[in-house]
Structure 1
């Protein structure tokens, strides 16, 4: 077939990062490819393509618009964006020179989409001499492939001599260490989210619905410059305690005596916030305060452990030791027996990124990683969750610094104390 190739004349017009930062990202991806024995990286997930190309496009929400990027390990070979024919206008936001255009079928995206992409990528790899190589793409649970299974199967059939691997070992070591600009965006995302949470709790009153409360928070986040609000979880009262990551409901009214948990935040120029705060409509009971304080002590112990060179597993263990010290070693044992052995995650362009804060994770914390720490504790140490009347926790976003750490979602922005109305 004849490849439809465009060499960009106006690249980087609306790029998501500077050219030096883009070059830094690509160089590090190539270093990891070398370390892992990978010849090329074929990225399809929106956030991976955005990270590696600096291109953004609203059409990603249309699932049949496959925007993908190929990065060879050999820096003498060209990188290429693969876009549907007509999408080359959007690629001017990228720093990548070469655009390979593939065609929609008759009927546009209502027909069988992808055959032209399969042919185009196959021909491109043959052109580069990589049709018998090792290619990494999104194949593990921590990614969402930006192609249909039909297209992936077609690529495997069209390229029988390619060894396909998961790209996680290449991508996550690079994406987990943020640039100064990424840290700036994460910091601003946290600031805006905290202002939104505070505005919501200040407006809290009996009879509001969960959705009413979250709408107040979200409105303030947008007023302060938030870009999108993709993840907000809120539940109020004992009837909702089993709803982990609950979607706020219009029919669920907040009554006197309710504990309210908010979890989430906004994005700022693509970068997420994920923090958790509690409020109470009326004074919380003595037990509620005590159990919340145990969860908060577990979180603080984990935060105190954060510094370069410490493993993610050691951060997890610090939180669990605080729960043991509070007199509840059996809670830790039961949680571990159910394999509930994670207390947080990395964050950036995705809400949950790797390596993640989990038991026995030997990955080492490094400067400019941003993590969310969120250990939990159940009422009176009960376990599992469906046996208890409430659950407690606090979550903060923490930057690993050269000397230790910085809590981005500090009490100065929104207190970790239970907000009492």
Structure 2
């Protein structure tokens, strides 16, 4: 039987999708764009609700200044698109062609677009008709992980009369502030993060196989109604603490060592990461002291996280606590980053990270959600780490993930 808590195939209301599209079109109008070709999986999902694993093959969402959108994918995705997407026409291509081939026919020929004898809908043709009359200004996400260089080259060479502009970040920035519907999905994801973390911590013991701990974590999250997240759980022994993006191996955890745990639940593609350092048996006194500094620095970030603040000011609040603890030599590239929608291979929302950095003028706004990290590893004076998903509401920061705070000793 289906899990009653599972994410719906189409989690966004018609009004939500319409609001998002209107916001994108307002940005397009401000830049004088006739058309946008979006290829970032997170942005396509944001505008259309298409949630599947088919993004390994390039997709293009054609967004004209007015009229219906058109979603170009492999033809075999027709059923999935029909089941999930309510606000875009579909144009499929066979495996002897690319998304660029179909898109160019829609944009340049403005007639029937065929792929393996399949005719694109009249709505798909009409949607782009106005945009390609004369010299079109077309936006392309040049830094998208979903846009191979060959595909971009094929598009631009196929329409040399068009003016091509990079619209990387146009939709991403609109995703920074979460609506009420999105905030509800984030809270569901956070509850799943806590379930997954709790299962991992419970499974940690002297001699426990690394794979068994990971399996317990993932299984618990899925059974609770979660999807596979953009990153799998990062669960590493002390010997590999410094490896940023590796996870479990073939070994066993041992008494007296630390275990690094960073993971996220996933609900309707929304993520709410958290992290903990777990000690097996006993933690060194210096690491227990470092846990207090980590917690104090985390709390300082919460105090600085206010609408209108700059990201560099938030980072400075974290660094001030670290400096006061005698660690003025220690610096991090950020103390957190924006999170929300994510598709493999990342939960960061794409192939870039919008971080709370020491040099960032990003303006903090209510509705933003962050993975806040207080990371003090390799300091020479003990190691510790704690992170949580935090939503900034009008009333202030809300810590969404509630897994046991440090220090955690098993």
After TM superposition, is the score higher than 0.5?
Answer: yes
Contact 1:230 1:266 in 2 (8 A): no
Q: Tell me if 1:234 matches 2:235.
A: yes
Whole-Å separation in 2 of the counterparts to 1:291 and 1:59: 44
Q: How many residues end up aligned between the 2 structures?
A: 376
Whole-Å separation in 1 of the counterparts to 2:263 and 2:129: 46
Q: What residue ranges of structure 2 are gaps of 5+ in the alignment?
A: 1-7, 111-126
Residues 63-74 of structure 1 mapped to structure 2, 5 A cutoff: 63=57, 66-72=58-64, 74=65
Q: Tell me if 1:122 matches 2:107.
A: yes
Whole-Å separation in 1 of the counterparts to 2:337 and 2:73: 32
* Paired position in structure 1 for 2:202: 202
How far 1:157 moved relative to its partner?
A: 0.3
* Paired position in structure 1 for 2:255: 256
- Sort the Cα spacing of 1:393 and 1:28 in 2 relative to 1 into closer, same or farther, 3 A: same
CA deviations 1:255-303 (Å, max 9, x no partner) are 1111111011221121112110121111101111122322232222112
* Paired position in structure 1 for 2:281: 282
CA deviations 1:320-359 (Å, max 9, x no partner) are 111111122122xxx3xxxx43222111112114642112
Contact 1:307 1:401 in 2 (8 A): no
Whole-Å separation in 1 of the counterparts to 2:102 and 2:211: 42
Q: Tell me if 1:396 matches 2:378.
A: no
Contact 2:287 2:383 in 1 (8 A): no
Q: Tell me if 1:298 matches 2:297.
A: yes
Contact 2:72 2:99 in 1 (8 A): no
How far 1:112 moved relative to its partner?
A: 5.2
* Paired position in structure 2 for 1:133: 136
* Paired position in structure 1 for 2:400: 408
Residues 99-110 of structure 1 mapped to structure 2, 5 A cutoff: 99=90, 101-104=91-94, 109=95
* Paired position in structure 1 for 2:145: 144
Contact 1:135 1:162 in 2 (8 A): yes
- Superposition CA RMSD, Å: 2.4
Contact 2:227 2:266 in 1 (8 A): yes
> Quick one: which of 68, 84, 88 aligns to 2:74?
84
Whole-Å separation in 1 of the counterparts to 2:270 and 2:100: 33
Contact 1:313 1:360 in 2 (8 A): yes
How far 1:36 moved relative to its partner?
A: 3.9
Residues 16-415 of structure 1 mapped to structure 2, 5 A cutoff: 16-61=11-56, 63=57, 66-72=58-64, 74-75=65-66, 77-85=67-75, 87-92=77-82, 93-99=84-90, 101-104=91-94, 109=95, 111=96, 113-114=98-99, 116-123=101-108, 124=110, 127-130=129-132, 132-140=135-143, 143-145=144-146, 147-231=147-231, 232-237=233-238, 239-250=239-250, 252-331=251-330, 335=331, 340-350=332-342, 351-353=347-349, 355-379=354-378, 381-382=379-380, 391-409=383-401, 413-415=402-404
Whole-Å separation in 2 of the counterparts to 1:328 and 1:293: 13
- Sort the Cα spacing of 1:168 and 1:151 in 2 relative to 1 into closer, same or farther, 3 A: closer
CA deviations 1:199-231 (Å, max 9, x no partner) are 221232111122221211112111211121442
How far 1:118 moved relative to its partner?
A: 4.4
Whole-Å separation in 2 of the counterparts to 1:312 and 1:343: 10
Whole-Å separation in 2 of the counterparts to 1:82 and 1:177: 27
Contact 1:102 1:120 in 2 (8 A): no
**What TM-score do you get using the length of structure 2 for normalisation?**
0.84
